Chain A
Amino acid sequence: MTVHPTSPNFKDNASRALADGQLQRALGNVKKGFIEKRQLAADRLPEFDALRDSARDIKNHTLAHLDLYIERYEEKVTASGGHVHFARDAEEAKEIILRICAEEGARTVTKGKSMIAEEIGLNAHLEAAGITPVETDLGEYIIQLRNEMPSHIIAPAVHLNATQVETDFRRVHTHLDAQRDLSEPVQLLTEARAVLRDRFLAADVGITGANFLVAETGSSIIVTNEGNGDLTQMLPKTHIVLASIEKLVPTLEDVSQILRVLARSATGQDMSVYTTFSTGPRREEDVDGPENYHVVILDNGRSAMLGTSFEEMLRCIRCGACMNHCPVYHAVGGHAYGWVYPGPMGAVLTPTLIGVDKGGHLPNASTFCGRCESVCPVRIPLPKLMRHWREREFERHLSPATMRSGLKFWGYFAKRPTLYRMSTRLGMGVLGWLGRRKGRFASLPFAGGWTKYRDFPAPQGGTFQERWRRERRDGASRNSTRVDAR
């Protein structure tokens, strides 16, 4: 596994993804499941949209006072017998974790699903030091067997079909009967459960991420459906929490507000199965739980986002709704984005974390349809932030020459309204006439990238500006000026 980004090759990645039949079949599951379930869950709760406002406000308040909440949180963790470590970057975080593992003489560590661990490339670092990391989330376990990165932040193996998982299990679980039946998904789940149960019980250290850190109590919170995160953190002698600075929330009440939008946005559940609040190590009277409790707080470029337009991205609670609703993600899946975070949130976050020179392609992979923003539980203006990146990419002359000259060409007309109106009307007229029989084009000069995967519809009626003017005029009497932007 590597964290070496392939984001600069987004276009090639995307082309490969579009031609990958297995992937395209698997991606059908994203469209099918997530969207409808989220909508049903939102409809069941009349206050859902108001709670999104509340979640946004809590996050904004916390970010504006982040230094103070981190200090409060640290005090509380220490008072409960835990240890807080600070890491400026990935290297420091990996060193801290390795040092703790070494102090414990750890040979195997179990891991709950953590995107931050992927971000810093923790597994490779542990392996290099002779420690075996075992991913325990079913999806993460599957992709670890395949030496792949997650393709989705809450469904890491969403790019795979059951038959592929079966092949991997037969390849790796060689101690089991080769004749066993694995044709049903439930048989795959049962096998993974049995294999991983032994690993849970044998682990020396458990590493989890955190969905939230509560300043009031010094608690770390994980939200899971499988229960793997809980077994990871309660069974080994030492529990290490890896969390980035923006996971802070002030109080238990604040986290309760955000929990009401998290699972609904992610999986369409009212609540995930397990929401666990951990505060410090095992107490004197306790009969189970970890003896040592460490929290590693990672910055890795986030503090520099505060006070900029990208601060809003730090509200993200990693629900995955933006990618579940993204037509680009539906088409190419998560691996095409080339790093840890895919979809619209990845398109905004990746250039921040690995640099616009490497991640600058990703914000271009958007149709600006606005669905990501419309479902974001903390109302991050993702299209606006992607536009910011495009502007920066252009300003820094990182965009390709064809695109720059294309924009210049368009700019020439756009700055001359009469000429623009005339030429668009003319262009539309010609295209409409040429396509009048079929109503669509299977190929067009200069638009091969479009027509390779779908037909280009022949224009009908007037230009956008004509329609806009007409609807403004007609709408004045109906008091409606809405134009369908799609």
Chain B
Amino acid sequence: MTSAREDILSNIRRSLGVRGDERTRRAIVDERIERSPKGLIPARGQVSGKERIELFIAQAHAAQATVSHVADASEAPAAIADYLRSHNLPATLRMGDDPRLQDMPWGETTLEISRGVSDGSDLNGLSHAFGGVAETGTLVMVSGPDNPSTLNFLPDNHIVMVQAKDLQGDFEEVWSRIRFAYGKGEMPRTVNYITGPSRSGDIEQTILLGAHGPRRLHIVLVGE
């Protein structure tokens, strides 16, 4: 008896009228994966510097995220404490081992800091993004001990730091950076693109925020 795998592949080949060992077909597939052609990139994200930052902020707002922009990472703890206070949220924060987060002057605030993965009971989580995409106001998160993926989804309020220098115009630039960091064809276990807070339209097609993921998404954008 042939395996399901063999059967499916040979059915596909029979339907397509191919054998599977054709050199030209294999070369086409190899080249596509090797070269990974970019396709059509919308003009919207093709801006740089201050314009790119402004586009990212505008698009994040359009997706119902909030943004505070600070000149330097040392100002971030105070900005985060302000955000929590102004929304009447408790002064607690859970985060991973990312040195960029660890090294910030938390002592200047009264925030109660805890570390590690979320068990589902944390109200406020903090993560550091790998990057952002100006085209759509999207945050790019990668998994690992520095920024556990559970922090992206379980806390009620998710605060994400992103460096202005890590903002890309489009998704394709993000993949170039991922390949540079992880190697061609390799990926972190999880890449989360996050565009705004969790929502659902499943009840009478009315959009409500805070379905299963965070009810609020606050972005702290660092630098010029």
B15 located at the interface, meaning its Cβ lies under 8 Å from any Cβ of chain A in the complex? yes
User: B190 contacts which of A142, A260, A276, A304 (Cβ < 8 Å)?
Assistant: A276
Which of chain A's residues have a CB closer than 8 A to the CB of B16?
64, 66-67, 306-307
The answer to whether A189 and B29 have CB atoms under 8 Å apart is: no
Proximity bits, B166-210, A CB within 8 Å = 1, else 0: 000011100100100000011111111111111111111110101
Are B190 and A278 in contact, with the CB atoms below 8 A? yes
Whether the pair B190, A162 counts as a contact (CB closer than 8 A) is no
B125 within 8 A of A: no
B175 to A256, Cβ gap below 8 A?
A: yes
Q: Could you say which of B7, B15, B144, B198 contacts A286, with CB atoms under 8 Å apart?
A: B144
* Given A29-B204, A156-B202: A253 and B193 interface contact (C-beta under 8 Å): no
A271 touching B136 in the complex, CB below 8 Å, given contacts A68-B25, A225-B200 = yes
Most buried by B among A32, A138, A161, A256: A256
Of A72, A282, A299, the residue contacting B189 (CB under 8 A) is A282
The stretch that binds A, out of B39-47, B70-78, B79-87, B106-114, is B39-47
Q: B211 contacts which of A45, A228, A275, A281 (Cβ < 8 Å)?
A: A228
With an 8 A cutoff between CB atoms, is B131 at the interface?
Answer: no
Q: Which residue of A lies closest to B9 (CB)?
A: A67
Given the complex of chains A and B, what is the CA–CA distance between A69 and B214 in angstroms?
Answer: 36
CA of A288 to CA of B214 in the docked complex: distance in angstroms? 18
Q: With an 8 A cutoff between CB atoms, is A123 at the interface?
A: no
Which of chain A's residues 283-338 have a Cβ closer than 8 Å to chain B?
283, 285-289, 297, 299, 303-308
Expressed in whole angstroms, the minimum distance between the Cβ of A69 and any Cβ of chain B is 7
A434 adjacent to chain B (CB < 8 Å): no
A462, CB-defined interface residue at 8 Å: no
Kindly state the separation between the CA atoms of A29 and B175 in the bound complex, as whole angstroms.
38
B196 touching A253, Cβ below 8 Å? no
Interface string of B58-72 (1 = CB under 8 A from A): 010011000000000
Which residues of B have CB within 8 Å of A217? Answer: 185-187
Tell whether A54 pairs with B187 under 8 Å between CB atoms, given A32-B205, A303-B15. Answer: no
- Interface size band for B: 35 or more
- State whether A226 touches B208 (Cβ < 8 A): no
A251 in the interface (beta carbon within 8 A):
yes
Q: A68: which B residues are within 8 A, CB to CB?
A: 20, 25-26, 29
Instruction: Tell me the complex Cα distance, A26–B204, Å.
Output: 7
Query: How distant is the Cα of A46 from the Cα of B46 in the complex, in angstroms?
Result: 14
Is the pair A277, B187 in contact by a Cβ cutoff of 8 Å? yes
Q: Mark A60-102, 1 if CB is under 8 A from B, else 0.
A: 0100111111111000100010000111100010000000000
Q: How far is the CA of A92 from the CA of B200 in the complex (A)?
A: 33
A259, B119: Cα distance in complex, Å? 31
Whether the pair A273, B63 counts as a contact (CB closer than 8 A) is: yes
Cβ contact within 8 Å between B199 and A273: yes
Interface string of A176-206 (1 = CB under 8 A from B): 0000000001101110010011001100000
**Which residues of chain A are within 8 angstroms of B136 by Cβ–Cβ distance?**
270-271
The verdict on B105 contacting chain A, using a C-beta distance below 8 Å, is no
Give the interface centre of A158, A185, A272, A305 by most chain B CB atoms within 10 Å: A185
Per-position binary interface string of chain B over residues 105-129, scored 1 when its CB falls under 8 Å from any chain A CB and 0 otherwise? 0000000000011011000000000
Which B residues are in CB contact (< 8 Å) with A299? 8, 11
SS of B interface (majority): loop
A270 engages B195 (CB within 8 Å): yes
In the complex, what residues of B have CB within 8 A of residue A286's CB? Answer: 143-145, 189
For A50, the chain B residues whose CB sits under 8 A away are 40
The residues of A that contact B29 with a CB separation of less than 8 Å are 65, 68-69, 72, 215, 250
Inter-chain CA distance A303–B63, complex, in Å, is 39
Q: Say whether, besides A226-B211, A289-B189, A157 and B202 are in contact (CB < 8 Å).
A: yes
* A267 is an interface residue with CB less than 8 A from chain B: yes
Contacting residues, chain B, for A279 (C-beta < 8 A): 187-190
CB pair B201 A267 closer than 8 Å: yes
Closest to A92 in B: B4
Give chain B interface residues in 1-55, CB to chain A under 8 Å: 3-5, 7-9, 11-13, 15-18, 20, 25-26, 28-29, 32-33, 36-40, 42-44
Task: Indicate whether A252 reaches chain B with its CB closer than 8 angstroms.
Answer: yes
Select one of A26, A54, A200, A307 contacting B17, CB under 8 A. A307
In the bound complex, residues from chain B placing their C-beta under 8 Å from that of A270 are 59, 62-63, 135-137, 195
By a CB distance below 8 angstroms, the chain B residues around A231 are 153-154, 212-213
- Who on chain A is nearest to B178 by CB? A252
CA distance A188 to B202 in the complex (A): 11
Judge if B96 is at the interface, Cβ distance under 8 Å: yes
> With a CB–CB cut-off of 8 A, which chain B residues contact A269?
63, 195
Assuming the contacts A227-B212, A234-B150, asked whether A287 and B117 have C-beta atoms less than 8 A apart, the reply is yes
The 3 residue pairs across chains A and B that have the minimum distance between CB atoms: A227-B213, A226-B211, A306-B15
Q: Can you list 11 A-B pairs with a CB-CB distance of less than 8 A? A: A47-B40, A65-B25, A68-B20, A189-B210, A227-B153, A270-B62, A273-B63, A274-B195, A285-B144, A286-B145, A288-B150
Binding site for A on B (CB under 8 A): 3-5, 7-9, 11-13, 15-18, 20, 25-26, 28-29, 32-33, 36-40, 42-44, 59, 62-63, 96, 116-117, 119-120, 135-138, 143-145, 148-150, 152-154, 170-172, 175, 178, 185-206, 208, 210-214
Beyond known contacts A68-B25, A227-B213, A274-B192: 12 more, CB 8 A cutoff:
A34-B205, A50-B40, A70-B8, A186-B208, A219-B191, A225-B198, A231-B154, A259-B171, A269-B63, A270-B62, A271-B138, A271-B195
